[in-house]
Structure 1
Amino acid sequence: MTTPDLIWAALLALGAAYELLALADAEDGNTLSERVRAWFRVHTRPGRAIFAAAWTGFAVWFLVHILG
């Protein structure tokens, strides 16, 4: 494995480990999905629209980026 592979693997593993700890913790607001909901304020109509546009834009860009 190259250095970038190791760094990305470590970042993903660290993120997964934190998510598992957050799921095991009873405190609200720790998981990635809870944070994303708070950041984009998806409880509001504009927040939902912004999140949907951002997520769709990212998904389309990433698909084209990887396959192109």
Structure 2
Amino acid sequence: MTTADLIWALVLGVGAVVEAYALCSRKLGDTLSERTRAWLHVRTKPGRALFTVGWCGFSVWFLLHILTESM
């Protein structure tokens, strides 16, 4: 296991703990999806459009990045 593996495991682990806490607390606005909606203003037309374009663009880039080991 490399140092990068350990760092990514730590980042993902901390994120999972924060999300689990948010789900168990049942406080509105604590989960990652609720924060993402608020940060990106997806309840507005421009926010929704920007999120959609960004998400689709990222998805295509990530798919190609993983499959072709480039970009």
Common topology (TM > 0.5)? yes
SS at match of 1:30: coil
Identity of aligned residues (%): 59
4+ runs of 1 displaced by more than 6 Å? Answer: none
Deviation at 1:28, TM superposition (A): 1.0
SS at match of 2:43: coil
Q: CA RMSD in A?
A: 0.6
Residue in 1 that maps onto 2:51: 51
Alpha-carbon separation, structure 2, partners of 1:34 and 1:7: 26
The equivalences for 1:1-68 within 5 A come to 1-68=1-68
Given the two structures, how large is their TM-score scaled by the length of structure 2? 0.92
Alpha-carbon separation, structure 2, partners of 1:65 and 1:12: 20
Alpha-carbon separation, structure 1, partners of 2:58 and 2:13: 22
Alpha-carbon separation, structure 2, partners of 1:53 and 1:35: 19
For residues 13-60 of structure 1, the C-alpha deviation after alignment (integer angstroms, 9 at most, x for no partner) is: 110110000001122111000010001111111111000011011111
